[in-house]
Amino acid sequence: MGDTLFVDLARESVLAAVQVAAPVLGCVLLVSVVISLLQAATQMHDPTTSAVPRLAAAAIGTLLFGPWMIAALLAFSTDLWANIPRMIR
């Protein structure tokens, strides 16, 4: 296995992980900013008021983007398995 093949495989793996995680992390980031602004405006800094909406946003984001995330991981893993003969040469 050549060095360039290993670097390409690592790059594709990291890119796939970022693409799969980005939608859920984006939902959580958006909710976190809104909650932080509301907490700053009301000066109410209870930890549960920030944790529960973030968990709910992560769950909703996973439900909404789950099929796309699974399809992206399936495409990546199928491509990886299809290229195994090329990798071992």
Q: What is the pLDDT of residues 10-63, one digit of tens each?
A: 999 999 999 999 999 999 999 999 999 998 898 888 888 889 999 999 999 999
Range of the domain at 24: 3-88
Give how many domains the chain has, as a whole number: 1
Query: How many percent of the chain have pLDDT more than 70?
Result: 98
Task: Report the pLDDT value the prediction gives residue 1, as an integer from 0 to 100.
Answer: 56
Task: Give the global pTM.
Answer: 0.79
Which band of pLDDT confidence, cut at 50, 70 and 90, is reported for residue 88?
confident
Q: Write 21-29 long-range contacts (CB < 8 A, 24+).
A: 23/61, 23/64, 23/65, 23/68, 23/69, 24/58, 24/61, 24/62, 24/65, 24/69, 26/61, 27/57, 27/58, 27/60, 27/61, 28/54, 28/57, 28/58, 28/61
- What number is the average pLDDT over the span 67-82? 95
The pLDDT of residue 75 is above 90 = yes
